[in-house]
Structure 1
Amino acid sequence: MTQTKICFIGAGFHATTNIYPSAIEAGATIQAISTRSIERSQAALLRYGSTGTAYDDVSQMLQNEDCDGVIVVAQPQDQTSLALECIKAGKNVYVDKPLGWTATEAAEIANAAEKAGVVLMVGFMKRYAPIYLKLKEQIDDGSMGRARSFQMRFAVDSTPFCKDEEQFMKLAAIHMVDLMRFLFGEVQQVTGTTIKDGEHINQSISLKFNNGVVGSAYFAGMSAWSRESESLLVTFDHGFVSADEINTLTIHHSRTSDSLPWKSLEEQDTVFTPSGSPMSGAYRDLYLRGFVGEMAHFMACCHNKALPHSSGKDNIGTMALCDTILAALV
């Protein structure tokens, strides 16, 4: 496994729970960590057994360290300025979503990275989750005909970190919004209805895509959903595919026969699931949610100077779609 020298900015809960262990699993060596306090940076290095350097000054780290890339997982309001600082220093950079609060801000950062000739990747891990990669294969290979329509559900208790609908859309539901674009392309029409009661949010959204796919999305940010839940059902010309949570993909090919399908065992589903054992530990979740996959992809792009699937340039479209949905909600 190729070792990649990575510097980190931020060591909060999400970073230390998901990003650090996934990067290490994907082959990263932690070269340095910068947080707001040297003690916190040192503690993070110790936690992951790194002999790297601790900083409490991002500028100093970027100046001193010669690394393959920088991973930024900070507070949303800080990530734009931190990404621009990394780009100015000539560093390849991965930034957790959202990168830029609007499409205009996203474009500013993407253009800066393009001008500097560095890799800029945004943290949309669902693009790298095995279940959605396999679903994407079904859409692209055409074996079931064209994708025609979909139903999407996403529910989470967003009340601790989202105080209004814009925060909910751009800090929580944004992953599903980006997933729509990844699977079905660009949107030409959006309508929707929203009900908001304090920090509790329920949204019903209808979308029409440029390629003729139509779909509906149900998004809920409610304390009722103490467990995060998601599902996606896609209807094709000759069957359907159902993605349930992050661990079960069911593929149903419609069949033609001289006898009616209910007269015999004509129907057939193919079900894909991961195995589970004590040996998988916590890494099973990191793989299935796409965190390890996106870290491996970022590091490969750094080495090859390749455009990431979830590039800064592509992120402009996701931020624009978030704003389009928000404007359409009544």
Structure 2
Amino acid sequence: MEQLRIGIIGIGNMGTGHASDMINGGVKGAILTAVCDIKPERLEWAKERFGEQVKTFDNVDEFLSSGIIDGVLIATPHFDHPQLAIECFERGLHVLCEKPAGVYTKQVREMNDAAAKTDLKFSMMYNQRTNPIYKKLKELIDSGELGEIRRTNWIITNWYRSQSYYDSGSWRATWAGEGGGVLLNQDPHQLDLWQWTTGLMPKRVRAFCYFGKHRNIEVEDDVTAFVEYENGATGVFVTTTGEAPGTNRFEVTGDRGKIVIEDNKLTFWRLRVPESVFNEEYKGGFGEPECWKCEIPVHGENSGHKGIIQNWTDSILHGAPLIAPGEEGIKGLSISNAMLLSTWTDNWVDLPLDEDLYHTLLQERVANSVYKG
């Protein structure tokens, strides 16, 4: 294969952006050949924007069986992601899936199992993994520069959304339409980066989610969660869509100091000797390790969505390693599912979580949702 023929399912906000990125050679080695959507007005937009070079479909089966696509970018509502991916795999089509991987891990696990039975390239649209600042954080942690991690703390509250935002679509912020709120819509990138940069998945979670606390919606819009890791480290994750001005501050503390990412800067508060060594050797009572404030230079381009599409294309055409393998989409979703389940059961939730229980409790909320499709 010398050129990858890409089709997009769903040309709403995200699909429109991806289509525009790919047209006229925007992704080297790839060509947009087809789009599929159930809304006539979106297909009309595609015809006006792309002309005859991109074929339009209003039927998924016809789209997938058209023979004019090699890979599919899925940009539909959350609930549809896993089933559409499975249908693509069954037809021998490569898949790039928008975040989140799905709404609940049980369906995402089925998607991963289907992908594992093929040699097809499967990627997630975790475009924040291309951000040089998070790549540098991962590099520092992986190299051992920070030492063993002891604490993580992410305050991500700059997702301000007004009531008018939620009122713009009847499906928004509903259990039946989106399957969740701030954790499913705004935070999938941070939940992915939280575990990807540190290399740690929580072993158990205790969370407090508030539903419609700041807005007239039925899903979570304010969350504070505490997690424990296998090595004894702990973490806190705080998020909301109802706070202004918001904060985006990620701290990772280890035996050799603390790294802080805030205001697009990476600061390493580096200890001259590891805390554990200082504690063992120091006999002076009051005192603490000498600490150096290091402003870590961060270089490179943040290629974002287009970078993930390019990487997926390069993986298919040239065997490049995937930046965001599709099967890793279940990790961040497991954390958000655990946070909701902890709140619903008013208890700790161990990971891996009880997927059947989560699905049952979610379906109860879907059945009573104000959105009926």
Is residue 2:307 matched to residue 1:293?
yes
1:252 matched to 2:269: yes
Matches within 5 A, 1:167-182: 167-182=181-196
Q: Deviations over 1:142-164 (max 9, x none)?
A: 12323321210122135623246
2:232 corresponds to 1:230: no
- What SS does structure 2 have at the residue aligned with 1:150? strand
Are the structure 2 counterparts of residues 201 and 57 from structure 1 closer, same or farther at C-alpha, using a change threshold of 3 Å? closer
| TM-score (norm: length of structure 2) | 0.71
Question: In 2, are the aligned partners of 1:5 and 1:29 still within 8 Å (CA)?
Answer: yes
Q: In the aligned structure 1, how far is the partner of 2:105 from the partner of 2:262?
A: 31
Cross-structure match for 1:325: 339
Deviation at residue 273 of structure 1 after TM alignment: 5.9
Relative to 1, partners in 2 of residues 1:182 and 1:23: Cα closer, same or farther, differing over 3 Å? farther
Tell me the equivalent position of 1:13: 13
Aligned-residue RMSD, C-alpha: 3.1
**Shift in CA distance, 320/273, structure 1 to aligned 2, threshold 3 Å:** closer
Equivalent residue for 2:238? 218
Change (3 A) 1:74 1:195: closer
User: Deviations for 1:83-126, whole angstroms, at most 9, x for unmatched residues?
Assistant: 22212211001111223321110011111122233222222222
The counterpart of 1:207, out of the listed 221, 227, 231, is: 227
Q: Distance in 2 between matches of 1:30 and 1:112?
A: 25
**Would the aligned equivalents of 1:69 and 1:302 in 2 still touch at CA under 8 Å?**
no
Tell me the SS of whatever aligns to 1:166.
coil
Paired residue for 1:263?
none
Instruction: Describe the shift of the 1:242–1:44 C-alpha distance in structure 2 as closer, same or farther (beyond 3 A).
Output: farther
Alignment partner of 1:157 out of 147, 155, 160? 160
Measured in 1, the distance between the counterparts of 2:305 and 2:233 equals: 28
Q: 1:293 to 1:214 in 2, by over 3 A?
A: farther
Inter-partner Cα distance in structure 2 for 1:210 and 1:45: 53
Total equivalences in the alignment: 305
Q: 1:20 to 1:232 in 2, by over 3 A?
A: farther
Asked if the contact 2:34/2:68 (under 8 Å) is kept, the reply is no
CA 1:154 to 1:22, structure 2 compared with 1: closer, same or farther past 3 Å? Answer: farther
Mean Cα deviation higher: 136-145 or 112-121: 112-121
Aligned CA distance change for structure 1 residues 230 and 296 (closer, same or farther; 3 Å) = farther
Distance 2:98 2:246 in 1: 19
Alignment partners' CA distance in 1, 2:306 and 2:132: 10
Which secondary structure state, in structure 1, belongs to the residue aligned with residue 86 of structure 2? helix
Cα pair 1:238 1:254 within 8 Å, conserved = yes
Contiguous gaps of at least 5 residues in structure 2: 167-171, 274-290, 347-373
- Kindly indicate whether the alpha-carbon contact (under 8 Å) linking 2:135 and 2:197 is maintained by their aligned counterparts in 1: no
Q: Percent identity?
A: 22
Preserved CA contact (<8 Å) 1:119 1:306: no
Judge conservation of contact 2:150–2:233 (CA < 8 Å) in 1.
yes
Alpha-carbon contact 1:6-1:29 (below 8 Å) kept: yes
Q: Which residue is 1:240 aligned to?
A: 258
Report which of the two structures shows the higher radius of gyration computed on alpha carbons. 2
* Equivalent position SS for 1:33: strand
> Deviation digits for residues 279-298 of structure 1, max 9, x if unmatched?
xxxxx8xx36x323322222
Does structure 2 conserve the Cα–Cα contact (< 8 Å) formed by 1:233 and 1:243?
A: yes
1:249 maps to a residue whose letter is L
Change (3 A) 1:214 1:93: same
- For 1:192 and 1:314, the matched residues in 2 are separated by 22
Aligned positions of 1:1-330 closer than 5 A: 4-17=4-17, 19-23=18-22, 25-27=26-28, 28-37=30-39, 40-41=42-43, 43-44=45-46, 46-47=48-49, 51-155=53-157, 156-158=159-161, 160=166, 161-163=172-174, 166-184=180-198, 185-196=200-211, 197=213, 198-199=216-217, 201-222=221-242, 224-225=243-244, 230-245=248-263, 247-255=264-272, 267-272=292-297, 287=302, 290-304=304-318, 308-329=322-343, 330=346
Q: Which amino acid aligns with 1:41?
A: L
Mapped partners of 2:82, 2:246: distance in 1: 27
TM-score, scaled relative to structure 1: 0.79
Q: What amino acid sits opposite 1:194 in the alignment?
A: C
Corresponding residue of 1:261: none
CA distance in 1, matches of 2:314, 2:226: 36
For 1:117, the aligned partner's letter is D
